[in-house]
Amino acid sequence: MTISRELANAKARLLVDAARELRRTALAWLEPQPR
């Protein structure tokens, strides 16, 4: 199947936004905290 360029680009941007948010929050949460 094909989807529109606009929808494909919007979903690709969503991936980038999600990665940015995860780098900002989840990774800090997962990294070992200093004792």
Partner 1 sequence: MRTQEQIGLDLLTDGEQRRTGFINHILAAFDGVDLTHEAVKAIYRRRALERSVPRVVGKIKRNKPAIVDDLRFAKAQTTKPIKMAVPGPMTVIDSTLDETYNDEGAMAMDVAAALNEELRDLQAAGCDVLQIDEPAMTRYHEKVFEYGARALDRCLEGIQIPSIVHLCYGYPGGAGQQHEYEYPELLQELMKTKIGGFGVEFARSNYDPAVLSICKGRLVMFGCVDPSDTPVPPLASVVTRVREALKYIEPKISCSLPTVA
**Which residues of the shown chain bind partner 1 in the complex (CB under 8 A)?**
1, 3-4, 7-19, 21-23, 25-27, 30
Sign of CA dihedral 4, 5, 7, 12: positive
Distance CA 16, CA 24 (A): 12
> Distance between CA 5 and CA 21 in Å, rounded?
24
Q: Look up tokens 């941007």; give the residue.
A: 13
- Give whichever of 4 and 35 is closer to partner 1, judged by the CB atom: 4
Minimal distance, residue 35 CB to partner 1, in Å: 20
Q: Which is nearer to partner 1, 27 or 34 (CB)?
A: 27
Residue 4 or 33 with smaller CB distance to partner 1? 4
